[in-house]
Amino acid sequence: MGIYNIVLIGFMGTGKSSCGKLLAQRLHWEFVEMDKYIEQIAGLSIPDIFAMRGEPHFRDLETQACRALAKKYHAVISSGGGVVTRNENVQILRSFAYLILLTAPPAEIYRRIMQDGKEKRPLLAKANPMQEIERLLAIREPLYYNAADIRFDTSGKDPDTIVSEILQNLPKHVEIM
């Protein structure tokens, strides 16, 4: 059976958004950022959803977004780093998309997030974000690896190089035309 969508999964700061945007451009597919989609349904920014409604509410919205996006055709979807923490989300995503995992070492994740501004990531708005990255990665790594169809290490590579690697390795059942 053919698969008509791609979801990028991986920890915060692994390049899901920048690579997703570029991959969608190269395939002439739609690009969807799951966090932006959630912000639209909630009418609030991600940090505000966490602050005003709490993480469990955010996770419910994330599951709702996975279900809604299952209707897409030829979309590259960049997911939030915590989407794999609910097995239900993984099942939904795997039902309609090819799951690509992007990885990076903790030090590189830390550097990229600090460049972006850690206030955009409520989970890392802590006294010691590096410790929190390592703690969350230890919990999530097996979840990412189990969910993914394929994985790419992004360390020291620019989005252009990563997207070329992805395109060279797409299996035939991902129907790009």
Binding site for ligand S3P (CB under 6 A): 12, 16, 35, 46, 80-82, 121-123
> Considering the complex, what minimum distance in angstroms separates the CB of residue 65 from ligand S3P?
10
Question: Residues 8, 102: contact at Cβ < 8 Å?
Answer: yes
Rounded to a whole number of angstroms, the minimum distance from the CB of residue 176 to ligand S3P is 24
Of 73 and 146, nearer to ligand S3P (C-beta) is: 146
User: Is 16 or 23 the residue whose CB approaches ligand S3P more closely?
Assistant: 16
Least separation, in Å, of the C-beta of 161 and ligand S3P? Answer: 20
Residue found under tokens 């979807």 = 77
Query: Toward ligand S3P, which CB reaches closer, 121 or 152?
Result: 121
Q: Of 55 and 73, which has the nearer Cβ to ligand S3P?
A: 55
Q: Least distance to ligand S3P from the beta carbon of 86, Å? A: 11
